[in-house]
Structure 1
């Protein structure tokens, strides 16, 4: 026997230990009897791994071109970053942009409410409907009470509406003072007259109202004559039909309309009637 060569012994110890039953593995790993490796598997051009490889290559080329252009603008040369780091940075930026885009799409649109103009207290007060203003009652003059003065105002207002002259107003007031003392009177002879607003009653046949006009004489119906404005209009209409009434005395003009049994009675009221007419036509 030959003594064991120490160098050969070291080589033997360094070789990996294999199982005796795996002959093919032993043949592939040692000497010239190593089994040939199988040829690489061919992949179709349109398969997914190929497309991924092509896309990765194009991306690398674009990244390297941009990186080279940036380097050309710098004064001092800079160390080239590894391609893997550049690709990782681009992927990170793309993911961040995609995340922001998804956040914006997912977030609901903010609706800004349209401000509604609320009325100010001053505008509200101006817009509120105003209550009708009651006409101011005239202050009584010439010894009249308020009811008499109110009736006198109706007589004057109707005369002015008809464009009657001032003297006609005096004639009408003097006539009403004599006939009813400026009260709207019903008649005890006509029970119907008491169904309407009145301020007392008389007993002179069927005479009613401020001017004691008789329905039986054609002045109007009881309902009409019990309205002071209608009674005054009827008096002015009859006065305007008398020729030359403007040149007559108050007593003569009143008597021409009323045909009273006491024709001189109207003269006593002329001064008071003039005072009331002046107070109501200021």
Structure 2
């Protein structure tokens, strides 16, 4: 898989890497399509348009061609292994992330953000990451953001101890950006994801290793209660997840355009996608 090289800019390449569940494994492929359409619209709203997105999956969602319209920044990476049902280990998603990272390596590296196919990114995320993740740093974390309950469209800003006892990146996987340097002799710089581990321990692990991670003041929107979120249907924390979603509805507030526009969306669009399948 080869990507178009941008001769017009020498800035560090920024890649969104999105793993997508297979149609055969999804509970509701139509809902998956609705969710990733919001994610893609959010990415398309970036103020800094010099980025690329790699979608790794077994199937292309129907919205892909409608929204990307042949845009050379958007690439589909075909999964070539048998479809597996979702599991607590999330091996399918991990394999797709690995393939995305290998593609980034082959093209010289750069900043890589894994983005779940149902999460939203602030409109200035690419610009902020490029500006604040300096040459001496291996990446950044997003420690503040919004959690959005998809059934009620209530949103809560985290951190909020009434909802979750921790920073945003302790909860949401779409909260880290790593600099991939394929030719570095330093393992940390070759693959920060491997060396730093899970998103919720990046800051602590970086401190122990003596490397610098920057906190990025840009929001991510973490959608929950969609019926397609992996952790809501599988694994040992399903009960905790139900309580968490209830707390978001209790302490959050109805999402309006003041929040939705931060992600390049509108309340009306979120409402249309959230309630369309329930009709």
- What is the TM-score of this pair, normalised by structure 2? 0.22
More strand by share: 2
Instruction: Pick the structure with greater CA Rg.
Output: 1
- What is the TM-score of this pair, normalised by structure 1? 0.22
